[in-house]
Amino acid sequence: MASDHTRSAILAAAERLYADRGFGDVTLRDIVAAASVNLAAVNYHFGSKDELIAELFVTRSIATNRERLRELKAAEEQGGGRAPIEVILHALVGPTLRGCLGPENQRSTAARFMIRASIESVPPIRRIKNREIDHLRKFAGAMRRALPDRSDVDIYWGLNFALAMAHHTIRESERLTKLSEGKCDLDDVEDVIARVVSVATMALTAGRNEAKAPPRALARDAR
Amino acid sequence: MASDHTRSAILAAAERLYADRGFGDVTLRDIVAAASVNLAAVNYHFGSKDELIAELFVTRSIATNRERLRELKAAEEQGGGRAPIEVILHALVGPTLRGCLGPENQRSTAARFMIRASIESVPPIRRIKNREIDHLRKFAGAMRRALPDRSDVDIYWGLNFALAMAHHTIRESERLTKLSEGKCDLDDVEDVIARVVSVATMALTAGRNEAKAPPRALARDAR
DNA sequence: TTGCAATTCAAACACTTGTATGAAACTATC
DNA sequence: GATAGTTTCATACAAGTGTTTGAATTGCAA
């Protein structure tokens, strides 16, 4: 195993460079230069560039997923196997938002890296994301238990919309700040989480009919 | 101006290839081969690869934005300068969703291209998206007129969440289908639009306090 | 037809990319 | 301190990229 120094120097440098400049224009040569390491070291320690990226992403997303499940499990145990829907949603989007938002100058490299990964979506990362379905199914299950009257379809749509709001807010946080001229405070992470959870809860608990029957007259008018 | 044949052959081939295989692994050589055209033609007619991509994206997004504003204007005129919030949201997300979802086999090349653009986000496209803020401000204005009691902050958050649900659903439509084992029907575009509009409307009209005050006790518990 | 501009073409250019190689340097074990 | 295994290093490789060039061709007007 030896010193491991080179390995972790590469990981740190790569994460920082990718976070700062995106996957698009950071080359292996940039990384090894920043890490003060030989070019061949990347292939020696990681096999390939894609495996390096994958390792960075996996590390971080495992941490997030673990935190999510920890919150979920704690909530369900406390509620005797059934947690309130707000708390489930909180466990779903909280760790991600907490990990990626917050005051920019004190945002960790890891957080900035994950934002990049969310924006740019390179192949090795896409492959990993596709394996996340099993993880999401656990949340779908908890949501079903919390809302036994709700159809599966509604559950999945609610899950989809919750993730949508969280991820889009992360991806487009800069644009939202600009659009709102700073009125939307993306640094107040707990407020952002509360907003997402609140809307997602409404989506999941509102009268079933409303969600499915559009105001047809209005919709047709606008055509 | 001459024949223009080469120019449009390139545009068509590029749009199809990018739609099918993504920006990542389509080269100029692939495009000119598909268009039966000489390699140098791209630079001759468009200046550079990035300008070709930009032209493709601008064309489509101008069409979408025009459609959005047409619906918005029609609705506001009909309501004497003030349209119902549902209709405004419908005008905002309808054209995009209608353009990108629907039965896969009858999805237009343009639609599939726009999905790619939404997923991969290459530099020339990102640059254009950043100029979309003025367009969104028009919708923020209409929403303010529809909900004069609402604070600007809430308006912008509602706008953000509406776009979030629409775009995320497009980006991750495949994953949602898989996750729900086909139960969520992404081909029924009008139903998807209705769901997004419904949730966004709730987000914008629900009691103001709920949105800001999280169930603090529960949130703390889960930590 | 002649002349001139617009277009097309084959070829090469100039670079960058990730990866592979094989020798050198190091490290720990006996 | 010799040896075996690991790690580092300079260097080269092979392939692919967008772009440029300058000559050939085309189309159209005088």
- CATH code of residue A18: 1.10.10.60
Q: Encode pLDDT of A120-153 as tens digits.
A: 889 999 999 988 999 999 999 999 999 999 999 9
What average pLDDT does the segment A98-110 reach?
Answer: 85
Residue A120 makes CB contacts below 8 A (sequence gap 6+) with: A22, A23, A24, B120, B121
Which chain A residues are closer than 8 Å to B206 by Cβ? 198, 202
Which run of H or of E encompasses B191?
Answer: helix B189-205
**Distance CA B27 to C1' D16 in A:** 9
By Cβ distance, the residue of B90, B120, B211 closest to A195 is: B211
Q: Encode pLDDT of B93-115 as tens digits.
A: 999 999 888 887 778 899 899 98
- Clarify whether residues A218 and A144 are in a common domain: yes
**Distance CA B41 to C1' D25 in A:** 15
CB A135 within 8 A of CB A65: yes
**Distance CA B161 to C1' C2 in A:** 67
Cβ-based contacts (< 7 Å) between B 91-150 and strand D = none
Closest CA to B116 of B7, B26, B191: B26
With respect to residue B137, please indicate whether it lies within any of the assigned structural domains: yes
By Cβ distance, the residue of B133, B203, B218 closest to A178 is: B133
- Clarify whether residues B71 and B160 are in a common domain: yes
Q: Encode pLDDT of A25-57 as tens digits.
A: 899 999 999 999 999 999 999 999 999 999 999
With respect to residue B9, please indicate whether it lies within any of the assigned structural domains: yes
Residue B92 has pLDDT above 50, yes or no: yes
The pLDDT mean for chain A works out to: 90
**Interface contact B178-A133, CB threshold 8 A:** yes
Q: Domain range holding A39? A: 1-47
- Clarify whether residues A136 and A187 are in a common domain: yes
**Res A215: pLDDT:** 43
Which residue in B has a C-alpha nearest to residue A23's C-alpha? Answer: B122
pLDDT category of residue B3 using cuts at 50, 70 and 90? low
Residue A220 has pLDDT above 70, yes or no: no
CB B49 within 8 A of CB B18: no
pLDDT category of residue B210 using cuts at 50, 70 and 90? very low
- CATH code of residue A212: 1.10.357.10
pLDDT category of residue A3 using cuts at 50, 70 and 90? low
Rounded-to-10 torsion of CA A118, B56, B172, A205:
100
* Gyration radius of chain A's alpha carbons: 20
**Interface contact A212-B190, CB threshold 8 A:** no
Which residue in A has a C-alpha nearest to residue B174's C-alpha? Answer: A130
Which chain A residues are closer than 8 Å to B191 by Cβ? 212, 214
Residue carrying structure tokens 């917050």: A102
pLDDT category of residue B213 using cuts at 50, 70 and 90? very low
pLDDT category of residue B119 using cuts at 50, 70 and 90? confident
**Res A190: pLDDT:** 96
CA angle (A122 as vertex; A119, A127 as ends), nearest 5:
110
With respect to residue B110, please indicate whether it lies within any of the assigned structural domains: yes
Domain count for chain A, please give it. 2
The pLDDT mean for chain B works out to: 90
Closest CA to A70 of A52, A87, A56, A50: A87
- Clarify whether residues B95 and B2 are in a common domain: no
- Clarify whether residues B21 and B98 are in a common domain: no
- Clarify whether residues A113 and A40 are in a common domain: no
Count residue pairs from A and B with Cβ separation < 8 A: 192
What nucleotides of chain D have any atom within 7 angstroms of a protein Cβ? 6-12, 16-22, 27-28
With respect to residue B53, please indicate whether it lies within any of the assigned structural domains: no
- Clarify whether residues A103 and A2 are in a common domain: no
Which chain A residues are closer than 8 Å to B183 by Cβ? 152-153, 156
Q: How far is B18 from chain A (nearest CA, A)?
A: 15
- Clarify whether residues B75 and B170 are in a common domain: yes
- Clarify whether residues B107 and B20 are in a common domain: no
CB A84 within 8 A of CB A146: yes
Quickly list DSSP for B2-66. Answer: ---HHHHHHHHHHHHHHHHHTTTT--HHHHHHHTT--THHHHHHHSSHHHHHHHHHHHHHHHHHH
- Clarify whether residues A39 and A64 are in a common domain: no
**Distance CA B194 to C1' D11 in A:** 62
Which chain A residues are closer than 8 Å to B194 by Cβ? 211-214, 219
Closest CA to B157 of A32, A179, A66, A35: A179
Residue B132: Cβ within 10 Å count: 13
Which chain A residues are closer than 8 Å to B211 by Cβ? 194-195, 198-199
Quickly list DSSP for chain A. Answer: ----HHHHHHHHHHHHHHHHHTTTT--HHHHHHHTT--THHHHHHHSSHHHHHHHHHHHHHHHHHHHHHHHHHHHHHHTTS---HHHHHHHHHHHHHHHH-S-GGG--HHHHHHHHHHHH--HHHHHHHGGGHHHHHHHHHHHHHH-TTS-HHHHHHHHHHHHHHHHHHHHTHHHHHHHTTT-S-TT-HHHHHHHHHHHHHHHHHS-HHHHHS--HHHHHHH-
Q: How far is residue A74's CA from residue B219's CA, in Å, rounded to a whole number?
A: 12
- Clarify whether residues B112 and B85 are in a common domain: yes
- Clarify whether residues B99 and B146 are in a common domain: yes
| Share above pLDDT 90 across residues of chain B, in percent, rounded to a whole number | 80
Residue A188 makes CB contacts below 8 A (sequence gap 6+) with: none
CA angle (B10 as vertex; A124, B125 as ends), nearest 5:
45
CB A22 within 8 A of CB A114: no
